[in-house]
Structure 1
Amino acid sequence: MSLKIIGSGFGRTGTMSTKLALEQLGFGPCHHMTEVMENPNQPAYWKAYADGAELDWAEVFAGYGAQVDFPGAAVWHELSVAFPDAKVIHTERPEEDWWASYSATIGKFFEYRESLTLPPPVAAIFETMDKLLIQGVIGGLGKDNALSAYRRNNEKVRKTISADRLLVFTPSDGWDPLCDFLEVAPPEGDFPRSNARNEFWALFGGEPVSA
């Protein structure tokens, strides 16, 4: 199996809902940050990459039919080259809506990460992700850095990926544009909705209290 779908959108753009939808449509398993936390083979790949190693992306994503969310979204360009037949789904939302969600979840997590009581393997994963994502992709904590990185990524995707290969998407668009793009029939039922703020913090034992 090789990737058929590459997700280029940052976390907090509906990536969990999109993961669930892609799996429902038969494009799974879909790689997501939760896979890095749950698949024991994954953390070593991303630590090696954050430390400067070159990876065999086919090996990293072996067994996955699709990828959305960080950390894969941090390397979407590399993946688009490694998997030239894969389609690119760029999840996106208005930037102030994205910042409101990001700052209450991912941004807050990394602000308080060192004070959280995390199992050592999970703490090690997010030590890697701090280096790869916060210091690397985002350029540090704070709204200005985050929004600049968000805009930059959105622009780069549009400039880099050909229009026939790209879908700019948000889960509120529903099944039709996604299924049209993937050339599959839309299923019955509502589009999945998941990964609200409380679901995010449940992964880490609860939200830290701000000082």
Structure 2
Amino acid sequence: MNDTITTPVRLEVLGIGMGRTGTASLKVALEQLGYGPCHHMLELFSRPGDAVRWQARARGEAVSWDELLGGFRSTVDWPSAYFWRDLVRDFPAAKVILTVREPEAWYDSISNTIFKALDQPLPQQDDAARGQRVMAKDIIVERDFNDRPHDKAHVLARYAAHNAEVQRTVPAERLLTYDVGEGWGPLCRFLGQAVPDAPFPTANRRDDFHHGPGRQRD
């Protein structure tokens, strides 16, 4: 098991949309376009020690990007999306993608997948799953949503505020606001890549989430 990768970070694409906005599909798409490996929440199952390091960084401790994202060319999804301001600042040459989704559909999805999973008892026999669950509850529920995951109005307000702050902060020429339902076209134009001769990937639909081994996915 490769617990920690400490090779230098050279991130070229930052996916900073909240979970359940097509981040798993974007991960696959970026890897198909040559921006792999792409970091996603799922990586914590092969790098279980990283969960505590992400939490340490969230507390303000000195945890480097080399420790957390070494070897990756792109990143999407939580936990990295929580640190989007730092990433945008620390990787000024990287292009930035804000994945978005119709708010009501997004809320329905996150409340029936991530929030529901994080309400369940912690797994006792799977250290990787337990560590990931604890980290996800800390960073997503407690920090990003102020420990109010069942307050729909608050969750939707936080989602809107996140998207608005990204759009206000990141220079327009560096940012793509993107719905994965738009397919390859906008993504490839933004990245200066040819459109692949393959359908745009679809990954981690709601049924896939619930049939997985208790993992927090998007």
TM over 0.5: yes
1:132 shift after superposition: 1.5
* Deviation of the 1:146 alpha carbon: 1.6
Aligned to 2:30: 22
Please tell me whether residue 64 in structure 1 is matched to residue 84 in structure 2: no
Whole-angstrom distance in 1 between the partners of 2:96 and 2:84: 9
Q: In structure 2, how many angstroms separate the alpha carbons of the residues matched to 1:17 and 1:121?
A: 23
Residues 202 and 107 (structure 1 numbering): CA distance in 2 closer, same or farther, change over 3 Å?
same
Q: How far did residue 43 of structure 1 move?
A: 2.1
Partner amino acid for 1:3?
L
Is 1:136 the equivalent of 2:140?
no
Number of residue pairs aligned between Structure 1 and Structure 2: 205
CA distance in 2, matches of 1:170, 1:75: 21
Counterpart position of 2:207: 198
- C-alpha deviation, 1:116, in angstroms: 5.3
Identify the residue that residue 181 of structure 1 maps to in structure 2: 190
The equivalent residue for 1:170 is 179
SS of match in other structure, 2:119? helix
Structure-2 separation of matches of 1:15 and 1:6: 11
- Establish whether residue 158 from structure 1 lines up as the match of residue 152 from structure 2: no
1:81 CA drift (Å): 0.7
Which residue is equivalent to 1:122? 129
In structure 2, stretches of 5+ residues that fail to align are 1-8
Q: In the aligned structure 2, how far is the partner of 1:76 from the partner of 1:155? A: 13
Partner of 1:54: 62
Determine what percentage of the aligned residue pairs are the same residue.
38
Partner of 1:147: 156
Is residue 43 of structure 2 the alignment partner of residue 32 of structure 1?
Answer: no
More helix by share: 1
**Amino acid in structure 2 at the alignment position of 1:122:** A
CA distance in 2, matches of 1:54, 1:149: 27
Provide the C-alpha distance between the structure 2 equivalents of 1:5 and 1:184, rounded to a whole number of angstroms.
Answer: 13
Deviations 1:54-112 (A, max 9, x none): 32224321100000011111111100011010000000001001001101101111122
Within 1, Cα distance between the matches of 2:94 and 2:79? 18
Whether contact under 8 Å (1:2, 1:58) holds in the other structure is no
TM-score of the two chains, using structure 1 as the length reference: 0.91
- In the alignment, the residues of structure 2 paired with residue 129 and residue 189 of structure 1 have an alpha-carbon distance, to the nearest angstrom, of 33
| C-alpha displacement of 1:115 | 5.8
Does the 8 Å contact 2:48/2:131 carry over to 1?
A: no
Q: How far apart in 2 are the matches of 1:69 and 1:154?
A: 14
Q: What is the rounded CA distance, in whole Å, between the counterparts of 1:152 and 1:120 in structure 2?
A: 34
1:44 Cα offset (Å): 3.4
Contact 2:38/2:73, CA 8 A, preserved across alignment:
yes
Verify: 1:105 aligned to 2:122, yes or no.
no
CA distance in 2, matches of 1:40, 1:128: 11
